[in-house]
A and B are shown apart, each in its own frame.
Chain A
Amino acid sequence: MPQPAERKNFPKEMLQYRSRFPILSHIHKPPVPARGGRKNTRGGVKSMELAALEWKVGGQQGEGIDSTGEVLARTLFRYGYYVTTYRQFESRIKGGHTDFKVRATPAPTHFHGDKVDILVGFDDETLPVHRPELKPGAVVILEGDGIKVTEEDGYTLAVFPLKAIATELGNPLAKNMIALGITGGLISLPREAFYHFIEEQFKRKGADVIASNKRAVDRGYELAQEHLAHKVKTLPPRDIDPNRLYLSGNEAIAFGAYMAGLTFLSAYPITPASEIMEWLAAKLPKRGGAVMQVEDEIAGITFAIGASFAGARAMTTSSGPGIALKTEAIALAGESETPVVVVDVQRAGPSTGMPTRHEQGDLNHLLHAAHGDFPRIVLYPSSVEDAFYLAAEALNLAEIYQTVVFLVSDLGLGMNKQTTPRFDPRRVEIRRGKIVSEEEARALGEFFFKRYRITEDGISPRPLPGNPYAVALTSSNEHREDGHIDETIEARNAQMEKRMRKLRGLRIRNPFYVDHPDAATLLVAVGSARGPVEEAAAALREEGYDVGTLFLQQLAPLPVEELRTLLVGRHVITVEHNYTGQLLGWLRRHLPIHEHSTTITQYDGRPFFAERIVREAKERIADEHRAERAHA
């Protein structure tokens, strides 16, 4: 058993950053039947209780795969479970395999899971593609000719002519509903749960459509009873906690920004970021704000900079290729000291790479993007919950520090939904920083207001245009205090040093989350890698490995001093979605962790499996011990 190299004392003041998160390692094991199973009164058949459910549906794009998954996910959410989801899709509208994973657990998690209890397939690809994920005893429901139930190697294969049955029921589109009915039957879910959704979903389509969809669900339950009775289990209802929400990272960013007083968003559509703009397009006009879909990404950021200069709270959203186009204007925000929030929901690159696949390959770009030296803030939420708070915080920081704030997300976090605690409005106060009032400006009596006043904290009070006593020039060129071009050594150095002073000591509320901080090995990750890493660490600990986790949310300025205490001298493994280990590179640049650090990377566009992290982490830990013995 690996021994921790040297225990560090964990400083008390850092406990505030500790994750309060319960870990779901028990769910990795095959579900344990509740003492001897339980009598299923409805079917009269003995049925086992499921601790949790992992379900996946696959099919061709345009077949309603997403909506099928979404209905089940919402149903389970309202049934009291914590639900996490993952959508895989291709960059086309119709055709091509797509799948939707739903995991329902009794405790919170950030991970949609490795395995599948029930797999529903409407196309030929579903089974071969997802076969390796099946748990022993899983049920696979496939569309096909005739009804056939067979026991395969480790799973039950049930073929039903779903389309034909749906047509018989008078609504060929309802085949998805039959599949949901079969699922409901297999886990003894009360039918009313689905009825509720059907009524909600098809309200506008009328009573006939509602009735035919309900019939389809009923038919599914019957099929499960008739053909799969031996596989029926029970997913027990759970207490419904009213303090929970179910939403995606994109929705959380949009919502958080809205609540923090965002009034202007300009952007150009791109997967997987468009949803942020779309959500806000419906909401902002109601309070006098605006969303503009402009001609390109350069306009996206420069419109936002112009609006911000004039007094709006402004943001632009994009993904890698669009962020690349924005880089010149990012430097403009830096030199002109104009607040702007730039959201990057990363997808797989380089270039247009894999537009609908997941990656964390933009970190190097965001940490360095644009020419010249200027201060920037880079935040990366590691959960849907934090996406809300960091979006709000990003808008504050942009205005307080008058610079660009990158809010980094990724496809995995952005496009997938999770059960999340309700938001606490007291956690982020809306603050606009140093805006000069008319009285203050009048007292100064400057004909050319000193927009770029040299200050101790590096932040110059900012007038909003229209203030009669603070007429000022904002500039992309190096300037004097009054904003006019000046390239003398004195002006240049004074302004450069003033700008670079402004982020000294900046700490967001949760710059990182750490769990088991004094463990011998720390797994470090950002964004949606948190889910699988968290569960992998829990599984490793159960096997006796001394492993902790750290999820970094403030990447720039990096909270070096706190991280030094935590990481230096310890075995660090970053777990990241890119080829070169960009996160590890950034940490190594700031901290002397070269000898005892390594990375587990994945760049295939798919999310991590916790199992793989467990396997690789064991190898890295063994390597580290070999190296230490060799040194000794």
Chain B
Amino acid sequence: MSIAPSAPTLKDYRGDVNTWCPGCGHFGVLAALQRALVNLKISPHEVITVSGIGCSSKVPEYMRSYGFHSLHGRALPVAQGAKMGAKDLHVIVTGGDGDGYGIGGNHFLHAVRRNMDVTYIVMDNGLYSLTKGQTSPTSPLGFVTRTTVYGNKERPLDALSVAIAAGGTFVAQGFSSDVKRLTEILERAIQHRGFALVNVLSPCVTYNKVLTYDYYKEHLVTVEEPFPTREEAIRFVKEHRGLVHGILFVDPETPDYQTALGYELRTREIDEGPMDEALLRELEEEFR
């Protein structure tokens, strides 16, 4: 598919000046994503990155590609629309846990179910960081923040199990400090034909004093091979309270949305000039 003059390098993917806090987990995710694309020999003009709003949603700013930095919680519908507009391009969505599982929770569920061929990277820091550290849907029970002064009373969302149960065809979890493994996961996710969820544990060094690099290093359990059934994958996630690392489940059989449509999409081939008179007269018959 490449129409780039030469093979892409990391330099081609270099974006605008980065403003994340030093040590932010999101650096690892950005690096892994850029590396995965270079490894797959995909050029920046063949990629659309779409994000919502949040620290994590700055990815389209910080890497070079066709980007759309959209609205808080709306990255998934914008991205799926973009895929409908440009089916030959790789559509990659980046955002935070607040963006994707909070305000965008409804879209998340339906995107999983719809199985459109986009890669969804959630940079999960258990917090709303850009707005300075409020509780998010993945914050632990009892977590104390500015909006849960007496401790979080809501249980965290198990997005991995939800995605697997809702029919997700590629569900994985990465860790932002293991860039090598994350790169491999992302390569497979991008190559997967269908909706791929990669939840990345990505510590917020400024506001999250619980879900830290050390905490994950101590607790994360590695998954070497995807589980053969959804049930086993979910059981494993539950047993380890979500502290798992690797590709959990893949269903290569279910067709992605555009394949399931059963016809060739041509949404951007639009002829300028006069209307097609013959077609107009043909369709008018319905109204005569």
Contact = CB atoms under 8 A, between A and B. Distances in A.
Interface in A529-553: none
Contacts of A332: 70-71, 74
Contact of A288 (B3, B16, B61, B265): B265
Interface in A195-250: 244-247
A251 B79 CA distance: 29
B168 interface: no
Interface stretch (A181-189, A463-471, A556-564): A463-471
Contact of A302 (B45, B74, B266, B287): B74
Interface in B51-72: 53, 60-61, 64-71
Contacts of B71: 302, 328-329, 332, 476
B110 A259 contact: no
A287 B288 contact: no
Contacts of B46: 466
Contacts of B15: 484
Q: Which of A309, A311, A483 has the most CB of B within 10 A?
A: A309
Contacts of B272: 429-432
A295 B110 contact: yes
A255 B85 contact: no
Nearest to B78: A306
Interface of A: 244-247, 251, 255, 258-261, 263-264, 266, 283, 285, 287-290, 292, 294-296, 298-299, 302-314, 328-329, 332, 336, 392, 422-423, 425-426, 428-432, 447-448, 464-477, 483-485
A310 B271 contact: no
Contacts of B67: 472-475, 483
Top 10 closest pairs, chain A to chain B, by CB: A306-B81, A310-B85, A288-B266, A311-B268, A465-B66, A303-B81, A306-B78, A312-B267, A425-B275, A302-B77
B138 interface: no
B78 A305 contact: yes
Given A289-B267, A392-B275, A295 B78 contact: no
A288 B269 contact: yes
A306 B269 contact: no
Interface in B70-127: 70-71, 74, 77-86, 88-89, 106-107, 109-110
Given A465-B86, A465-B89, A485-B16, 12 more contacts: A245-B287, A289-B267, A295-B106, A303-B80, A312-B81, A336-B70, A426-B274, A430-B273, A465-B82, A473-B61, A473-B68, A483-B67
The residue among B70, B265, B283 with the most chain A CB atoms within 10 A of its own CB is B70
A290 B68 contact: no
Residue with the highest number of chain B CB atoms closer than 10 Å, among A244, A258, A476: A476
Contacts of B283: 255, 258-259, 283
Contacts of B68: 306, 309, 336, 473-475
A296 B110 CA distance: 10
A429 B274 contact: yes
Given A465-B48, A473-B60, A477-B69, A246 B78 contact: no
B264 to A, nearest CB: 6
A306 B82 contact: yes
B43 interface: yes
Contacts of A470: 45
A328 B64 CA distance: 27
A422 B273 CA distance: 20
A464 B86 CA distance: 9
B261 A285 contact: yes
Given A264-B267, A310-B268, A471 B45 contact: yes
A303 B84 contact: yes
A263 B264 CA distance: 12
Contacts of A247: 287
Interface residues of B, number: 61
- Among B60, B74, B287, chain A packs the most CB atoms within 10 A around the CB of B287
A313 B67 CA distance: 19
B84 A285 contact: no
Given A263-B270, A304-B81, A310-B86, A484 B279 contact: no
B270 A471 contact: no
B276 interface: yes
26 contacts: A246-B287, A259-B280, A263-B266, A263-B268, A290-B265, A299-B77, A302-B81, A306-B78, A306-B80, A306-B82, A307-B82, A307-B84, A310-B268, A312-B84, A392-B275, A425-B280, A428-B275, A430-B272, A447-B64, A464-B86, A468-B3, A468-B5, A475-B67, A475-B68, A475-B69, A485-B69
A299 B70 CA distance: 13
B286 to A, nearest CB: 8
Given A295-B107, A299-B107, A307 B69 contact: no
A430 B16 contact: no
Contacts of A476: 53, 69-71
Interface in B244-287: 261, 263-277, 279-280, 283-284, 287
Contacts of B48: 310, 465
Nearest to B66: A465
A340 to B, nearest CB: 10
Contacts of B137: none
Contacts of B3: 468
A473 B288 contact: no
B4 interface: yes
Contacts of A473: 60-61, 66-69
B44 interface: yes
B228 to A, nearest CB: 30
A303 B267 contact: no
B66 to A, nearest CB: 4
Nearest to A251: B287
Given A264-B81, A423-B284, A430 B274 contact: yes
Contacts of A468: 3-5, 43, 45
Nearest to B16: A484
Contacts of A305: 70, 78, 81
B70 A429 contact: no
B33 interface: no
Nearest to A433: B272
